[in-house]
Amino acid sequence: MSNVKRRTIVGRHTVRHRVFEVERIEWKHTDGLSFDVYDTATGALLTEESFDDEPCVTDIEDLLDRLADELDAGRLDPWFFDQPKPRTILRGWNGAYGRCRCCGLEAGPDYHLAGAVPPGENGVVCDQCWDERLR
């Protein structure tokens, strides 16, 4: 049984070239509100802990930075996060490792280098796209 009275999308923000939706949750037995943040393209819920107040663009940026740190440290809760989704979302802008030659997203710390790539071409392949045949 759910204690949720109503869910409403109250905001839509573009942060680092991605669109995020803010959902307000009203509860049945309290006046308190909760706010969750979704990545619109994948539908991924990013707030393991909801905000108590409606998050602004800066709050969403902070949230993304926090998630990126947790992802790199391998600390994202696998029961809560569907791992490939935050990976895709966060690597679109986190610029440290170069972009994957296959999907064009940021490759991340577990990237691979493809063999048989002509000199001067990008050989970086992200772990998602990696296939032993690329070796």
Instruction: Give the x-and-dash track for 110-129 against Zn ion (CB under 5 A).
Output: ----------------x--x
Nearer to Zn ion, 17 or 29 (CB): 17
Cβ neighbours for 82, distance < 8 A, ≥ 6 positions apart = 44
* Contacting residue, 33, 103, 113, 117, with Zn ion by CB under 5 A: 103
Based on the shown chain and the rule CB under 5 A, indicate whether residue 134 belongs to the binding site for Zn ion.
no
As measured in angstroms, the least distance from the Cβ of 2 to Zn ion is: 38
Cβ neighbours for 84, distance < 8 A, ≥ 6 positions apart = 128
Residues at the site binding Zn ion, with contacts judged by CB under 5 A:
100, 102-103, 126, 129
